[in-house]
């Protein structure tokens, strides 16, 4: 999770919406029922993010999770582990990662911007699919409208050992490729799925990219999924084809940025 320390003045379509629910820790099997496909992503010794299964062998998360925040270097797929339903020292399933691909237009360097949030999604292809009755991948739904009720399940700083659910938060503004949300997020929540619930079924509509402030109050920034997912799926298909052919892919991740990647300090 990154904190973007600037006040978004033009994005809010109105005042912050009331009646947001509090985060609730999912500590028991009954609590986590239906959310088992959300898991913690361990990035080697570099920290963790949150992700959600959208297919038996495919995890959706944030692109910036694939980069070492200290150096800006790309984290190797072999160093990443997905812990489905991680809770109190145990996971329902443990999987390594075969391929980790970020959106082709995402660049982890330079100043933070809304344009970067719009491409902050990634896929992790697991080394083995998770086919368990209790772990059902989520489907993906259309971009929610302003004022629509959403929810989020995430891990975070000081709550890394069990997921937390915020059942009710809202979409308070939209920009091209970006959702501004009243959801409560923190470091470690990067890549967490934002849901809408329709006919009792939770569907993913965004992933958490960063937090910012509107009128002095913390908000979450999420990546809108519809168009970016098309490019991301194509990127994964290209990576898979290279792997089958035995050819290693070489890509310039950044360049011309003196001193490496730049980071902003968290909001006080």
pLDDT recorded at residue 189: 93
Strand duo 24-25 + 159-175: pairing = antiparallel
- Which range among 4-8, 65-69, 103-107 shows the weakest confidence by mean pLDDT? 4-8
pLDDT recorded at residue 38: 98
Dig out the tokens for 266 from the structure: 């968290």
pLDDT recorded at residue 112: 62
| Confidence band of 231 (pLDDT split at 50, 70, 90) | very high
Q: What angle do CA 92, 235, 208 make, to 5 degrees?
A: 55
- Which range among 13-22, 113-122, 131-140, 148-157 shows the weakest confidence by mean pLDDT? 13-22
pLDDT recorded at residue 247: 57
pLDDT recorded at residue 71: 85
pLDDT recorded at residue 111: 55
| Confidence band of 243 (pLDDT split at 50, 70, 90) | confident
| Confidence band of 215 (pLDDT split at 50, 70, 90) | confident
pLDDT in tens, 15-69: 445 589 999 999 999 999 999 999 999 998 779 999 999 999 999 999 999 998 8
Residues 226 and 229: their CA atoms lie apart, in Å, by 6
Instruction: Give burial (CB, 10 Å; 0-12/13-18/19+) of 120.
Output: buried
Residue 235, CA distances (Å) to 80, 140, 242, 254 in order: 19, 18, 11, 17
pLDDT in tens, 169-214: 999 999 889 999 999 998 889 999 999 998 899 999 999 999 888 8
pLDDT higher than threshold 90 for residue 134 = yes
Dig out the tokens for 162 from the structure: 């069990």
Check residues 257 and 44 and name the one with the higher pLDDT.
44
pLDDT higher than threshold 70 for residue 256 = no
pLDDT recorded at residue 245: 81
- For the chain, the structural domain boundaries read 2-245
Check residues 14 and 210 and name the one with the higher pLDDT.
210
pLDDT recorded at residue 120: 96
Contacts of 78 (CB under 8 A, 6+ apart): 96, 97
Q: Average pLDDT, whole number, for the chain?
A: 85
Question: How many alpha carbons fall within 13 Å on the CB side of residue 60?
Answer: 31
Architecture label for domain 2-245 = Beta Barrel (2.40)
pLDDT higher than threshold 50 for residue 260 = no
Residue 167, CA distances (Å) to 184, 194, 218 in order: 11, 10, 17
């Amino acid at each position: 999770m990154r904190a973007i320390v600037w006040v978004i003045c033009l994005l809010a379509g109105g005042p912050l919406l009331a009646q947001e629910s509090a985060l609730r820790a999912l500590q028991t099997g009954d609590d986590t029922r239906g959310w088992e496909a959300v898991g913690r992503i361990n990035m080697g010794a570099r920290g963790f993010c949150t992700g959600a299964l959208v297919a038996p062998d495919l995890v959706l998360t944030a692109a910036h999770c694939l980069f070492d925040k200290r150096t800006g270097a790309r984290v190797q797929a072999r160093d990443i582990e997905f812990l489905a339903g991680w809770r109190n020292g145990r996971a329902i399933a443990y999987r390594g990662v075969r391929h980790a691909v970020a959106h082709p237009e995402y660049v982890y360097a330079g100043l933070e911007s809304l344009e970067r949030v719009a491409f902050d999604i990634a896929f992790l292809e697991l080394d083995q699919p998770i086919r368990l009755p209790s772990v059902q991948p989520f489907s993906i739904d259309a971009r929610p409208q302003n004022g629509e009720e959403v929810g989020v399940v995430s891990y975070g700083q000081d709550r890394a050992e069990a997921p937390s659910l915020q059942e009710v938060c809202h979409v308070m503004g939209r920009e091209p490729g970006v959702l501004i949300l009243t959801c409560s997020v923190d470091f470690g929540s990067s890549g967490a799925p934002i849901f809408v619930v329709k006919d009792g079924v939770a569907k993913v509509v965004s992933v958490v990219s960063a937090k910012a402030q509107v009128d002095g109050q913390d908000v979450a920034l999420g990546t809108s999924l519809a168009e970016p997912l098309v490019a991301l799926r194509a990127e994964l298909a290209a990576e898979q084809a290279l792997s089958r052919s035995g050819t290693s892919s070489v890509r310039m991740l950044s360049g011309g940025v003196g001193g490496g990647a730049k980071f902003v300090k968290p909001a006080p």
